[in-house]
Homo-oligomer: A and B are copies of this chain.
């Protein structure tokens, strides 16, 4: 091994005895490891004596957090192999599942055990079965099948970007490509995310129903419609509603086929293009802004909300679906954590608090903001109104 190679592995200085101050994690600092653990044990005894809760140092959370990437991709492998559908179809032993999944038994055994520990399966003796949630969401024959959502949630544009997170934070902004015209990731989004969004879509349709019921032919604008499930759910619940879906043209193909499949194609209209540029017309009774504002900074959102104001009829309502953290920004967990997804994937996006969203709405002339939690789902609605 050459000196250069030794330098590359970072040991040259120490082998030559030229290091002076022990750098963190160096041999000299490692010789303190035992004292460090012992000191912690002493503190421990102090604490026990004073009846405060005990604490033995453990790297459990560290290790568990690091292994999270493995759990995500193990789940993806199970979905790719259609493991859950095989079990739903009656295969219960490793040999039976392996036959249906067309894979050798060793890998199926290890994956099924892993999915059991991860909470997706139940193992009783040698027999595997699905939990109720797994049967509901991960049997590919289920109407609520979510496996396809992984094509978006684990899309390389997201998973590669997060690996650069320290650099993104130093630079001050994430990439802008997902906001560019016709980014193909939104086709994967539209194809995969409808089942996950179904409960929120039902909640929005339910929230708007009283106001829309009194209208002869209410007009709904669905901005960044994606799979279309939000507008489509309104069309299903309000038989006279006309839906205008705005998104990139290739995405609207998915929304249109969903509208056809769900029997509302004749009341489903397409507005292809950018949410910031398309001429939407006006006089809408409701405008939907679902999972859209989090991609942008507040000033951009005010610009967009002014466009929403102009599109709405007087007394028309805008329904914003968002991950809305509390003012402490660390609760509830999923909404609070969503902020980092935007930090990684967008230039200036964020998960906004209700106070921040209300402020943006008011600056755009929209009033009476109120917050509706969709608990147990992770998102909330913010509903605002255009004044007369």
- Are A172 and B138 in contact, CB atoms less than 8 angstroms apart? no
| A254 contacts chain B at the CB level, 8 A cutoff | yes
| A104 contacts chain B at the CB level, 8 A cutoff | yes
- Are A144 and B36 in contact, CB atoms less than 8 angstroms apart? yes
A27: contacting residue among B77, B154, B260, B330, CB under 8 A:
B260
- Are A336 and B114 in contact, CB atoms less than 8 angstroms apart? yes
Chain A 211-241 per-residue mask, 1 if CB under 8 angstroms from chain B, else 0: 0000000000000000001000000000000
- Are A262 and B103 in contact, CB atoms less than 8 angstroms apart? no
- A253 CB contacts on chain B under 8 angstroms: 1, 6, 9, 11, 15
A interface SS class? helix
| A198 contacts chain B at the CB level, 8 A cutoff | yes
Cα distance, A194 to B34, chains bound together (Å): 12
| A210 contacts chain B at the CB level, 8 A cutoff | no
- Are B68 and A195 in contact, CB atoms less than 8 angstroms apart? no
- A281 CB contacts on chain B under 8 angstroms: none
- Are B9 and A107 in contact, CB atoms less than 8 angstroms apart? no
Chain A 158-174 per-residue mask, 1 if CB under 8 angstroms from chain B, else 0: 01001101101110100
- Are A57 and B111 in contact, CB atoms less than 8 angstroms apart? no
| A328 contacts chain B at the CB level, 8 A cutoff | yes
Q: A36-B143, A58-B376 given as contacts; is B9 within 8 A of A254 (CB)?
A: yes
- Are A137 and B260 in contact, CB atoms less than 8 angstroms apart? no
- A27 CB contacts on chain B under 8 angstroms: 257-258, 260-262
- Are A30 and B262 in contact, CB atoms less than 8 angstroms apart? yes
How many A residues, CB 8 Å from partner?
A: 130
A24, A159, A191, A254: residue with the most chain B Cβ atoms closer than 10 Å: A24
- A150 CB contacts on chain B under 8 angstroms: 66
Q: How many copies does the complex hold?
A: 2
Q: A72-B69, A81-B166, A102-B170 given as contacts; is B33 within 8 A of A195 (CB)?
A: yes
- A337 CB contacts on chain B under 8 angstroms: 67, 70, 114, 117-118
| A314 contacts chain B at the CB level, 8 A cutoff | no
- A26 CB contacts on chain B under 8 angstroms: 261
Q: Which of A125-160 contact B (CB under 8 A)?
A: 132-133, 136-138, 140-150, 153-154, 159
A36: contacting residue among B65, B142, B343, CB under 8 A:
B142
| A119 contacts chain B at the CB level, 8 A cutoff | yes
A69, A103, A132, A348: residue with the most chain B Cβ atoms closer than 10 Å: A69
- A194 CB contacts on chain B under 8 angstroms: 30
| A270 contacts chain B at the CB level, 8 A cutoff | no
Cα distance, A68 to B114, chains bound together (Å): 15
How many whole Å from A143's CB to the nearest CB in chain B?
4
- Are A154 and B61 in contact, CB atoms less than 8 angstroms apart? no
How many whole Å from A133's CB to the nearest CB in chain B?
6
- In the A-B complex, the 9 residue pairs with the smallest Cβ-Cβ separation, listed nearest first, are A27-B261, A68-B68, A107-B169, A77-B165, A80-B166, A32-B143, A69-B72, A104-B172, A69-B69
